[in-house]
Amino acid sequence: MKNIVGQPVRGENFFKRPIVIKKIWKALESGSDILISAPRRYGKTSIMLHLLDNPEENYNLIYIIVESINNENELFGRILNKIIESNFIDRFEGNSKIAIRGLLQRIRGLGLEQEESTELNYRQEFIKLLGLLKNNECIVIMIDEFS
């Protein structure tokens, strides 16, 4: 392990925190929302990246930095864009996969890549996406730098 200061670490340089990681997975399994709060440079981002790199079975993790976002529509637009960029859809099967792919293609076709586009209410589109998930499918959206 190499000591790195000032930037998030991954892989073998991650300082293992098995108790913290176990508590996070236990909270997620119970359906809880989680807020990780600590002073600067305590490893909050590194923990999120560790979870992203080591997901539990049936969990779909999305990591997004939202420091520069000013409004709700942009927040949900960026989350949807991140989902489109990820291999999120590939983890699902059957009708869920077809429906999610269709919804995301429709959103992409309406110009999600253009940040200035306000034609869509991305919050409503996000809620539609969640409605397509089955009970055994979990999505964890890790939002970093939320001010």
C-alpha separations of 95 from 90, 92, 102, 132, 146 in Å: 12, 9, 11, 9, 34
Instruction: Give residue 31's region: left, alpha or beta (phi > 0; psi -120 to 50).
Output: left
Return the closest-CA partner of residue 139 out of 33, 22, 36.
33
Query: What integer pLDDT is reported at residue 118 of this predicted model?
Result: 47
C-alpha radius of gyration, the chain, whole number: 16
Query: What integer pLDDT is reported at residue 110 of this predicted model?
Result: 62
pLDDT tens string for the chain (147 positions)?
666 666 888 888 888 899 999 999 999 999 899 999 888 888 899 999 999 999 998 888 999 998 888 899 889 988 888 887 777 777 777 777 788 778 877 777 765 555 554 468 889 988 888 887 766 678 899 999 876
